[in-house]
A and B are shown apart, each in its own frame.
Chain A
Amino acid sequence: MTGMSGTGDIAFAPMPGLPFAEPSSNGDRDHATTVTAATVGKSRLRPSDAVRVGSVGLRTRPLRTLLTALGIAIGIAAMIAVVGISASSRADLLAQIDDLGTGLLRAAPGQSMFGDQSTLPEIARATASRIGPVTDAAGLTYATATVRRTDYIDDGETGGIAVVAADPNLLAATRTNLASGRYLDESSPDVPNVVLGFDAARRLGIKSTDTHPRVWIADSEGLGQWFDVIGILEESPLAPELDSAAIMGYGVADALYETTTSPSTLFVRAEPSQIEAVRNVLARSVYPEAPNEVDVSRPSDALEARAKTDAALRNLLLGLGAVALLVGGVGITNVMVISVLERRGEIGVRRALGAGRRHILTQFLAEAGLLSFLGGTAGCALGAGVTAIYAHQRGWVLDVPIAALAGGAGVALAVGLLAGVSPAIRAARLDPAEAIRPA
């Protein structure tokens, strides 16, 4: 039998046949008297064992574990959902911007130096389309008319729908899609056809052109006539004014409502790379006499700004999530303090089994860390789930950044470890002799 308790410091050689039938130290007693402190060795706890020991307390009280982890889970879920939803929303906006292109400019009459409402020249559409890089220039002019489902409806009930005259290339310029039917074309400029914007169609209760619906359009004197609805548009993110418009050709509008060809809004599409150049000359081209009375804007800027303003709201919500996480962390500290008080006996016996202060510290830190990590992981899943549901409802692409998930779990772990420090130190400082005796 080789020296075990006598000389061995960390030597746990094979057990003597029976674990305790024969103490292993008999043969080496003489040697034992020379043993010094240095050969005693130190206690050690394997990392895998530390995790296992840390999980014992959690397994013993599953309900408490669940409720405590829930605090962290809610905080992390809130943060992940905020990041996920805002990322998905942004991904959607960026996809929209990609889709719609950034090559659209919008010119509208502004105000003169004296504050009067200005009007663009009637030839503005033509001059704009003559600018080199411009591929499409489409005008839109408001007509003094009202649109209703039938002539029995009071002419005050316009539903906020504007009657406008527009060019045939309006859809191409604004990249607005048709939901149903077809758009106006140049073959029949004088036929009373109308195309409804997305909201306008909804307000008039028209879902499709398949049933050949008609609407009643009347001039300011109340004289009206039926128009065939030949098309319904989808939402137009770059030209939202189209959504609540009933659109007809300039020819019909001129004949029935004496609408001029001076555009209320002029949409100009060019190559995105040329857009700044076009922007610089647009006002001067369409209104050489008073270029300062033309307001030129780039509708895609608004979408890009929206993608950015979301960040401010997101940070606010992230802050709220962080507060929830902090509360969860305080909850963990609380529960750990109770746990340490309840488990004095266990701490005492572990000290008697050879655990040093640092092993007790490790155990309770591991417990707090595990608890929080558990909550964090659940929170990540929950937050991603909420994002998925929300994105699905909105028809967005799901985008939960992996970095956010990893960060969430990591932050949870950090919060748990931090929350566990003070109770773990308390546990480690317990005097083993006192801990082992019933108070």
Chain B
Amino acid sequence: MTAVLELHGVVKEYPGSPPIRALAGVDLTVDSGEFVVVVGPSGSGKSTLMNIVGALQRPSEGTVRIDGVSTSSLRDGRLSAVRGRRIGFVFQQFHLIEGMTALENVSDGLLYAGVKRRQRAERAKEALKMVGLGDRMTHRPGALSGGERQRVAIARALIADPAIVLADEPTGNLDSANGAAIMALLHDLNQAGRTVVLITHDRDIAASAPRQVAMRDGLIVDDSKSIAA
């Protein structure tokens, strides 16, 4: 297996007095096809880790390679492209755009790749069918349930065929039944070969994953893979 994500000695400091050290030297390698859950209490640095893994931020120190691309020296234009094409984001708040239909929301997953509108729509239709929302394409987010919205968001995350699906508390805003369904969907994706990195504070969710990475105070304190190895 090859690594789709490599972090070496990653430090992230936010300016202030004293500066806040959110990540204090993180090493993490995720191979293609893995399902990794990063778990930790709030303030443990897992949100910062997500920003780094998702190429939303560059590290202060250390190296980050996403699908083989080092993000440390990328300027905004290319860094954005890395996000758009290598990472599929799934958020706790779903982050669907009001005023656009489910189909349009999913289509926008390819908007900044310069794909033509008709092609985007075709692929969005397929993606929506895959997540079981073939009959909700013209619905706006306001007309969808929380579970349905998160499915739309997952379809959007997948449409650009990313190397990593990065999910930040994807079940945080859902009831337990819908939460379980979303987790099942993510597991199905992983079964089909998709690499999934999920960030949560919920130990029960973490327990269901093949590999768990525990964080505290900006450091990885436990990695089930390294223990197994």
Contacts and interface: CB of A to CB of B under 8 A. Distances in A.
A357 B99 CA distance: 22
Contacts of A22: 192-193
B112 A359 contact: yes
- Interface size class on chain B is 35 or more
A273 interface: no
B32 A29 contact: yes
Interface string B85-110: 11101010101011110000000111
B83 to A, nearest CB: 6
A56 B97 contact: yes
Interface stretch (A42-50, A302-310, A364-372, A396-404): A42-50
A255 B115 CA distance: 98
A436 B113 contact: no
B82 interface: yes
A32 B27 CA distance: 20
Interface string A35-62: 1110011111110110011001101110
A34 B67 CA distance: 10
B70 interface: yes
Contacts of A29: 1-2, 32
A72 B86 CA distance: 43
B113 A19 contact: no
A357 B81 CA distance: 11
B123 interface: yes
Contacts of A12: 110, 113, 115, 119, 160
A19 B89 CA distance: 15
A433 B123 CA distance: 27
A44 B89 contact: no
Contacts, number: 184
B117 interface: yes
Nearest to A39: B69
Nearest to B120: A49
B207 interface: no
Nearest to A21: B192
Contacts of B114: 10, 43-46
A108 interface: no
B193 A349 contact: no
The winner among B73, B76, B112 for most chain A CB atoms within 10 A is B112
B73 A37 contact: yes
29 contacts: A5-B67, A6-B67, A12-B113, A19-B127, A19-B130, A19-B159, A23-B161, A23-B163, A24-B161, A33-B68, A36-B69, A37-B70, A41-B85, A43-B112, A45-B114, A56-B99, A349-B91, A352-B56, A352-B83, A352-B89, A353-B89, A353-B108, A353-B112, A353-B156, A354-B113, A355-B84, A356-B76, A356-B80, A357-B80
Given A48-B117, A49-B111, A348-B95, 7 more contacts: A15-B161, A29-B32, A35-B68, A37-B74, A42-B80, A44-B113, A354-B85
A-B CB proximity, top 5 nearest = A354-B84, A60-B99, A29-B2, A354-B112, A20-B158
Interface of B: 1-2, 4, 32-33, 47, 51, 54, 56-57, 67-70, 73-74, 76-78, 80-87, 89, 91, 93, 95, 97-100, 108-117, 119, 123, 126-127, 130, 155-156, 158-163, 189, 192-195
